[in-house]
Amino acid sequence: MPSGTIPLSMDVLKIILPTVLTFFIGIGITPFFTRYFYKYKMWKKFSRTEANTSNTFNTIHNTTAEMSTPRIGGVIIWISVLFAISVIYLLSVFFPTNLTEKLNFFSRSQTLVPLGAFFLAALVGLVEDLSHISGRGVIASDSLVYRKIKIVLIFLIALVISFWFYFKIDFSSVHIPFAGSLELGIIFIPFFIMVMLATFSTSVIDGLDGLAGGVMATIFAAFSLIAYMNSQTDISALSGAIAGGILAFLWFNVPPARFYMGETGMLALTVTLSVIAFLTDAVLLLPIIALPLVLTTASVIIQIVSYKFFNKRRIFKVAPLHHHFQAIGWPREKVVMRYWIISVISAITGIILYLASFK
């Protein structure tokens, strides 16, 4: 989408401002939320080690930290994004000038749907986190039922958004790198649902201090750049704002973590990521840009298939993959740093391929 008459310098400011603003809002609100989290002991009451897990997993898993560290730190991300969007939008409404109106990135054509998905998924995740924190109900005590409920909820969210794409904005194709667009027709709806469920499954990466935050910040920064190159400045600004919120969260999530992201963070990020990938026509490059997420999810699938169909054989000492590296002797910090490095390399690769494929 062409950027119209907005100068290039204004486009850049429109992206940088919400990114920086969201980061500092997140930094500013965190002390208040941290006190609230610890005052009301907002950590889950049932440990994963009470489930049928391997001895190796129980050895490397820090149960004490999990049972004494708040698990809804993801609210820092989406509340800081909400504040930043609101501030910029209200400035454009109550102080309408050429500058404030151009900086506003809340638009029906580009950011309404990803924002709706972002906050809806965040609230769904928050309800799940609060169930774990309360320690009451089937979601808190039965991990199998918990996973099934999550899948159903994400399926419903994906179904609604895919219908909006297909029937409301006539979006029914995907861009194949170096080959052009492929019209899917009504098949676009199940394809969209499949992609969102697959992206959501990557939330298993939220397992070590700083791991999910560093990887997700890199991915959203990459999509901010991709959207900018595609002249979708509103999506670029939104992706930048989300990246800024993640970095504010990460500031307090590096070891030792002050809080964990929880479902309210991971659900919001993974659901929104799939929506932005479609809107930028980069959905088929998503596995490359988000390679650490793909590898982590693939390790879980491989482990399950091998265990169930090959005489309970384990390919990895522990799954997901980051726990396998821990099990073979890598310190937590080394695992996280190397994930970050791979995340940057894969994001750069995806951006280059995007540029080359649209030439």
pLDDT tops 60 at residue 73: yes
Distances (CA, A) of 19 to 10, 195, 232, 251, 350: 14, 27, 16, 15, 21
pLDDT value at 209 more than 50: yes
> How many domains are there within the chain?
1
Q: Is the pLDDT of residue 8 over 60?
A: no
Contact 103, 6 (CB under 8 A): no
pLDDT at 63: 56
Query: Is the pLDDT at 37 greater than 60, yes or no?
Result: yes
Q: State yes or no: pLDDT of 65 exceeds 50.
A: yes
Question: What b-and-e string marks burial along 42-75, b requiring 16 or more CB atoms within 10 Å of the CB?
Answer: bbbeeeeeeeeeeebbeeebeeeebeebbbbbbb
Residue 177 CB-half CA count within 13 A: 15
Task: Confirm whether 317 is domain-assigned.
Answer: no
Q: Is 254 within a domain? A: yes
CA 353 to chain centroid: 22
Residue 213: inside a domain, yes or no?
yes
- Domain-embedded: residue 307: no
d(CA 141, CA 167): 40
Return the DSSP state at 187: G
Instruction: Please give the pLDDT value at position 1.
Output: 41
Q: Can you tell me whether residue 231 is helix, strand or coil? A: coil
Token pair 């002390």 in the structure block, residue:
31
Residue 116, pLDDT above cutoff 70 = yes
Mean pLDDT taken over the chain: 88
Alpha helix positions (H), the chain: 8-39, 55-60, 63-66, 74-94, 98-103, 112-134, 138-141, 143-163, 188-201, 211-229, 233-253, 262-279, 286-289, 291-309, 321-327, 332-357
Return the pLDDT at 55. 63
Which residues constitute the domain of residue 25? 8-286
pLDDT band at residue 69 using 50, 70 and 90 as cut-offs: confident
Does residue 334 lie within any of the structural domains?
no
Please give the pLDDT value at position 61. Answer: 62
**pLDDT score of 319:** 87
Task: Give the position of tokens 């030792």.
Answer: 256
Mean local confidence (pLDDT), 24-50:
84
Distance CA 312, CA 304 (A): 9
pLDDT score for 243: 98
Whether residue 344 is contained in a domain is answered as no
- pLDDT for 137 equals 58
d(C-alpha 105, C-alpha 99), whole Å: 12
User: Contact at 8 Å (CB) between 204 and 339?
Assistant: no
Two tokens at 226?
A: 């991709």
Q: What is the mean pLDDT of residues 154-165?
A: 93
State yes or no: pLDDT of 4 exceeds 60. Answer: no
Using CA atoms, how far apart are residues 269 and 278, in angstroms rounded to an integer? 14
Give the strand pairing for 173-176 and 180-183: antiparallel
Coil, strand or helix at 181: strand
Q: What local confidence, expressed as pLDDT, does residue 46 receive? A: 62
Place of tokens 């799939």: 274
**Which carries the bigger pLDDT value, residue 151 or residue 76?**
76
pLDDT at 325: 92
Mean pLDDT of 190-201: 93
Q: In angstroms, rounded to a whole number, what is the distance separating the alpha carbons of residues 294 and 339?
A: 12
Instruction: Answer whether 182's CB lies under 8 Å from 173's CB.
Output: yes
Q: Residue 98 corresponds to which amino acid?
A: N
- pLDDT of 223 strictly over 80: yes
In a domain, 333, yes or no: no
Report the largest interatomic distance among the alpha carbons of the chain, rounded to a whole angstrom. Answer: 68
The answer to the question of residue 297 being in a domain is no
Give the model's pLDDT for residue 30. 96
**Structure confidence at residue 178 as a pLDDT band (50, 70, 90):** confident
The pLDDT tens digits of the residues spanning 302-353 come to 999 998 888 888 899 888 999 999 999 999 999 999 999 999 999 999 999 9
Mean pLDDT value of segment 36-54: 70
Q: What pTM was estimated for this model as a whole?
A: 0.92
Residue 175: strand pairing partners: 181
If DSSP codes are grouped into helix, strand and coil, which group holds residue 174? strand
Report residue 54's pLDDT band, with 50, 70 and 90 as the boundaries: low
Q: Does the pLDDT at position 255 exceed 80?
A: yes
pLDDT of res. 143 = 61
The first and second tokens of residue 88, run together, are: 């910029």
pLDDT at position 132 is 81
pLDDT at residue number 102: 92
45 neighbors 135 (Cβ within 8 angstroms)? yes
Q: How confident is the model at residue 49 (pLDDT cuts 50, 70, 90)?
A: very low
Neighbouring residues of 52: CB distance < 8 A, sequence distance ≥ 6: none
